[in-house]
Amino acid sequence: MPAASPYYTPEHESFRDQVRRFVSEEIAPNIDAWDEANTFPREFYKQAAEVGILGIGYPEQYGGVEVPDRFYGLIMVEELSRAGSGGIMASLFSHGISIPPILAVGSEEQKQRFVAPVLAGERISALAVTEPSGGSDVANLKTTARLEDDHYVVNGSKTFITSGMRADQYTVAVRTGEAGMGGVSILVIEADTPGFSRTPLKKMGWWCSDTATLYFDNCKVPAGNLIGPENMGFISIMRNFNDERIALAAQAHGLAQCAIDEATEWARERVTFGKPLIKNQVIRHKLVDMQMRTNAVKAYLEQLVYRVDQGESPIAELCMLKNLATSNCEYVAGEAVQILGGAGYMRGAKSERIFRETKVLSIGGGASEIMKDLASRQMGH
């Protein structure tokens, strides 16, 4: 394991121990079965809320657990990654991308109605931005919302929506105005709205995290569900992306470390040609390369988390961090499976699951190619 970082206090480490216990007692024994079942129990949201994990970093007045810095969130992702499943993090924390716009620009009444029950683990929340016609091209979304008297009439569809099947409410980006970013608004649409339907999607990885396509057919949504001013939703959605990219980079780092740990343990125990696998220089060098690159990701991740905590918004570097972390996770997972050999190709190995899940990290939250282009523009190229 890499050396401890200077960014962490005894309070951080106490929190780390708390999350580690929760993972070893509640997630690790169940994750294989949950993955094969393509779901996990709804009560698990309540469990996570009760131990203080679901609400980390959110205001106490809405049931959150206020913390002094983002390193608590980083620790939480690192420890949850020990279970070797990105899927459990994706759905359990789908509110991490769906409620920040409500907290940022919503009214007090909306925060009590749409945030507090989610942080209590009583309701599940999802973000609905991506459409079949375009993923990262948020400014050109096509789902429309037309104001009629005291409600909006919503038509269109969204796809690749995390927690799409089980969510009770959706933070939905809709077009209320002209073409482009200036005509985008945010509505909260509840799952029992007439005219709303959803269908499940099957994925390469993240099996226990449900994903869906959503359909809005003349859905009547109360005007009181408009979050912030009309036609000003694009800014709130964009504001989300910095934290989402940090979270995805943290997940990529945590899962890479999990794969290294599993491969190292296997190499020590597996005996081939009369000696442990780790006695072969080629295996030791693989493990060194895997840890070296993962340590570099960790250092970059912690540096940028610190800078964001200081009020900076280093967009170009966050894009590069996400690309570095996710490409490293792909590399490490591949090497881990190689070290495990046939065992690494079998379901039940953490590295096998991580290997399947790596590509979604390079696509979600802005594809790698989009990240490079955005970083380049931010750098004045």
Tell me the C-alpha distance between 174 and 140, whole Å.
Answer: 10
Please work out, in degrees rounded to the nearest 5, the angle formed at the alpha carbon of residue 305 by the alpha carbons of 358 and 18: 75
Told to judge if 78 belongs to the known catalytic residues of this protein, a careful annotator would answer no
Which DSSP state fits 27?
I
Cβ–Cβ contacts within 10 Å for residue 275, how many?
Answer: 10
Question: By three-state DSSP, how is residue 36 classified?
Answer: helix
DSSP 135-169: SS-GGG---EEEEETTEEEEEEEEEEEETTTT-SE
CA proximity to 59, closest of 115, 113, 106, 124? 115
Q: Which of 244, 330, 352, 357 is catalytic?
A: 244
Please work out, in degrees rounded to the nearest 5, the angle formed at the alpha carbon of residue 209 by the alpha carbons of 206 and 215: 115
Tell me the C-alpha distance between 234 and 255, whole Å.
Answer: 31
Residues whose CB is less than 8 angstroms from the CB of residue 229 and which lie 6 or more positions away in sequence, other chains included: 105
Tell me the C-alpha distance between 204 and 122, whole Å.
Answer: 29
Mind telling me the catalytic residues?
244
